[in-house]
Amino acid sequence: MTYDAGKIDVAVIGAGHAGIEAALAAARLGCRTVIFTINLDAVGNCPCNPSIGGTAKGHLVREIDALGGEMGRTTDECFIQSRMLNRGKGPAVHSLRAQIDRREYSKIMKHKIELQPDLLLKQAEVVDVSRGEHGLWNLTTRMGAMYEAKAVIFATGTYLSGKIFVGEVSYESGPDGMFPAAFLSDSLKKLGIRLRRFKTGTPARVLRSSIDFSGLEVQHGDDPVIPFSYDTLTPGKNRADCYVSWTNERTKKIILDNLHRSQLFTGGITGIGPRYCPSIETKILRFSNKKRHQLFIEPCGLDTEEMYLQGMSTSLPEDVQLQFYRTIPGLEHVEIMRTAYAIEYDCADPLQLNATLEFKDFPGLYGAGQFNGSSGYEEAAAQGIVAGINAALKIQGREPMILDRAGSYIGTLVDDLITKGADEPYRMMTSRSEYRLVLRQDNADERLTPIGRKIGLISDDRWKRFQKKEEQKKEEFARVRRTVLPPSQELNDILVSHGTSAVTTGVRLEELIRRPQLNCGILAPVDEGRPDFPPAVFENVEIAIKYEGYIKRQKSQIDEMRKLENRRLPSDIDYLKLTGLRTEARERLQKVRPSSVGQASRIYGVSPADISVLLIWLGKEGKKHG
């Protein structure tokens, strides 16, 4: 029996990282929203690594924050160690990473949801989604509650028909021992949504007191701490260390001797796993000539003795896990608190989605996070805020928010998913963006905060701070271009000590900053006119000066790309009947149904010759379909 639970604007199924951002965005934009979770204790859970950010992922968190999302703020509230990765490389790949207190993160996120007006957090398993009247959708919970919603966002993570594997043992489950979403897959298949089976995994958690830290390499946090959120005006302090160790030939032998006990290799696991975050047994096989593999030993929080073994994901039996962990320096007497496992789950083919993350054939239904075939908390949150914003904007009759790949990593992520699809769990990397020099994490606010403000997610105070920072950047850029430093012993001592040539005449500050050996901080002692601006202002100006030529070239490429993006393709083209296209191109274009020539050019199997055919067709016939 069912009962009428009421009418809502937006229903969000799942309260992980995607669901949280989706629900908060929709509610903050004034939509009556309900977010469903199988267990209230799993809100904002981090079932894998207890960290936020990392290479390219840090960019996503900054962009989420720049749009008005929550992940960055909450991370700043509960981090226990903060580090900027890739400092030895160029600014395009500098990426912030924070070790978090995972329970504190979950607690803070849950409380923010509970306090948010227009948002109800509900413990319930949604078992059916069906078409209602007048373009609405009906959701039914396992307890028989039926809701009528204008929009539904699927953010199911790894819960959808989840199944755990540990050696020969397998059972239906969500992550961290939670119940799976056992019935929703059948409902989606009945609607006609294409699902596939993916797999991911997580390492063991081990007891801190069973680890010998004496011989391990220590990783300290950075000082000063750089926050994720532009709202964090006073960053916290580092309160924990991480550690590094390595596997060896003994580890390798134990793993190889027991592959017959892993369902990953015996056929029990059929889901496709992530290429860029493989299990330790996959790494041992894939890199057979490698003598050792690195692992990171990381705290899960300040009030727990659990330590996370980053890089040691496995689905081998528990006894084998204990054997090979104990071959690793520092872990000779380790005790496992939570056994590593692999998990299979259902997810949707993202080629069914458009750039707003709405299903093309099911108006009002949206997908976000691992439901769309991606992996990672940050990728999930990024999709969540896109789906939540667009669901709310559509309900309110406003223009959608579409982020292109030249304006953000979020746009790159969405475009990759909806254009190229995901044959394995998708992971964001800096190499996925052809415009990464202009999509740096330091300028995420410059790129996206005006969009967040226009949508309605950026407060007045934050907008004033942003405008002030932009003014300071303009002032400082003009100042360093006009400032001339006279030759002096102090200046030349600085130049020579940093491996660059001394000067005999006056030199523009801009020219000195452009030297690879120097930066604004190094030159500060001789820069008498240096204003009292935040460090981020000098960082932005310095990067703009050092990489000016490269940035101009990349912006020119962006202009060319956007010309193709502006060549819109009618949604009702029958590509199978379009003459001049190769058979493969016809089939792939028909499946993806790209919105522009630019998107069509990024589809696998569509060649430049096929794009020429499309352009000719647009010139001759496109107007008839306009």
Where do the domains of the chain lie?
3-199+345-455, 205-344, 483-551, 567-625
Nearest residue to 169 via CA among 317, 62, 61, 33: 317
Q: What is the pLDDT of residue 415?
A: 96
Distance of alpha carbon 86 from alpha carbon 94, whole angstroms: 5
Query: What distance in Å separates the CA atoms of residue 574 and residue 590, rounded to the nearest whole number?
Result: 7
Residue 537 pLDDT exceeds 80: yes
What's the pLDDT band for 452 if we cut at 50, 70, 90? Answer: very high
Cα separation of 70 and 17, whole Å?
10
> What average pLDDT score do residues 449-455 get?
98
- CA–CA gap between residue 469 and residue 536 (Å, rounded): 9
DSSP 187-246: HHHHHT--EEEEEEEE--EEEGGG---TTSEEEPPPSSPPPS-TT-SS-------EEEEE
Contact (CB, 8 A) for 15 and 22: no
Q: Is residue 509 a contact partner of residue 527, using CB atoms and an 8 Å limit? A: yes
Q: In this predicted model, what pLDDT tens digit does every residue of 505-536 receive, in sequence order?
A: 999 999 999 999 999 999 999 999 999 999 99
The dihedral built from the CA positions of residue 11, 12, 15 and 19, taken in this order, carries a sign that is negative
Provide the percentage of residues in the chain whose pLDDT is more than 90: 93
Question: Measuring CA to CA, which residue among 452, 458, 435 is closest to residue 558?
Answer: 435
Q: What is the mean pLDDT of residues 10-39?
A: 98
Phi, psi of 126 (to 5 degrees): -80, 120
How many angstroms separate the Cα of 214 from the Cα of each of 80, 243, 331, 397, 625? 21, 10, 11, 61, 71
C-alpha torsion angle, residues 270, 273, 275, 277 (rounded to 10): -150
**Average pLDDT score over residue span 244-261:** 97
* Residues in a beta bridge with 367: 154
Which residues are CB-contacts of 214 (< 8 A; sequence separation ≥ 6)?
Answer: none
For 49-67, write each residue's pLDDT tens digit: 999 999 999 999 999 999 9
Domain 483-551 maps to which CATH number in 1.10.10.1800, 1.10.287.890, 2.30.40.10, 1.10.150.530?
1.10.10.1800
Mean pLDDT of 336-350: 97
CATH architecture of 205-344: Beta Barrel (2.40)
Pairing of strands 294-299, 306-310: antiparallel
**What is residue 621's predicted lDDT score, i.e. its pLDDT?**
72
Question: Which residue in the block uniquely carries the two structure tokens 């801190």?
Answer: 208
In total, the chain counts a number of residues equal to 626
| Residue 70 contacts residue 24 (beta carbons within 8 Å) | yes
Find, among 155, 134, 76, 49, the residue nearest to 376 by Cα: 49
Strands 126-131 and 137-141: antiparallel
Cβ pair 90, 337 in contact under 8 A: no
Burial (CB count <10 Å: 0-12, 13-18, 19+), residue 179: middle
pLDDT at 1: 85
With helix as H, strand as E and coil as C, how does 385-446 read? Answer: HHHHHHHHHHHCCCCCCCCCCCCCHHHHHHHHHHHHCCCCCECCCHHHCCCCCCCCHHHHHH
Any idea what DSSP says for residue 441?
G
Q: Which token pair is 7?
A: 């009418």
Q: What is the pLDDT of residue 121?
A: 98
Amino acid at 140: T
End-to-end CA distance of the chain: 48
pLDDT at 535: 93
- Residues 547 and 90: their CA atoms lie apart, in Å, by 10
Encoding tokens for residue 18?
A: 């995607």
Query: What is the per-residue pLDDT across 259-281, written as a single tens digit (0 to 9) for each?
Result: 999 998 888 999 998 888 889 99
- C-alpha 414/C-alpha 436 separation (Å) is 16
How large is the average pLDDT for residues 376-389? 98
Is residue 309 classed as helix, strand or coil in its secondary structure?
Answer: strand
Matching residue, tokens 């084998």: 320
pLDDT at 574 over 60: yes
pLDDT for the residue 623: 56
The answer to whether 369 touches 383, Cβ cutoff 8 Å, is: yes
Q: Please report the pLDDT score of residue 619 as a whole number.
A: 85
Q: Do 98 and 82 contact (CB within 8 A), yes or no?
A: yes
Task: Provide the pLDDT for residue 626.
Answer: 46
Task: Over range 217-238, report the average pLDDT.
Answer: 96
Q: What residues contact 488, with CB distance under 8 A and at least 6 apart? A: 526
Query: Cβ contacts of residue 578 below 8 Å, gap of 6+?
Result: 586, 589, 613, 617
For residue 293, how many other CB atoms are within 10 A of its CB? 17
Question: Is-contact 244 295, C-beta < 8 A?
Answer: yes
Q: Which two tokens stand for residue 334?
A: 């380790």
Residue from 197, 160, 194 nearest 179 by CA: 160
Rounded CA-CA distance 9/108 in Å is 25
Model confidence at 624, pLDDT cuts 50, 70, 90, reads low
For the domain spanning 567-625, the CATH number is 1.10.150.570
Which residue from 539, 520, 510 is spatially nearest to 440, judged by alpha carbons?
A: 539
pLDDT above 60: residue 460: yes
What is the β-pairing status of strands 169-172 and 365-367?
Answer: unpaired
Average pLDDT for the chain? 95
CATH 3.40.640.10 correct for 3-199+345-455? no
Structure letter (DSSP) for residue 596: B
pLDDT at 607 over 60: yes
Residue 622 has pLDDT above 80, yes or no: no
The position carrying tokens 């060896």 is 248
SS3 7: strand
Distance CA 194, CA 362 (A): 12
Question: Structure pTM?
Answer: 0.96
Give the tokens for residue 603: 């589809």
Tokens describing residue 331: 């872990």
Burial (CB < 10 A; 0-12, 13-18, 19+), residue 622, is: middle
Which of 42-46, 87-91, 338-342 has the lowest average pLDDT? 87-91
How far apart CA 370 and CA 24 sit, in angstroms, is 18
Nearest CA to 255 among 317, 343, 166? 317
SS3 labels along 104-171: HHHHHHHHHHHHCCCEEEEECCEEEEEECCCCCEEEEECCCEEEEEEEEEECCCCCECCEEEECCEEE
Cα-trace Rg, the chain: 26
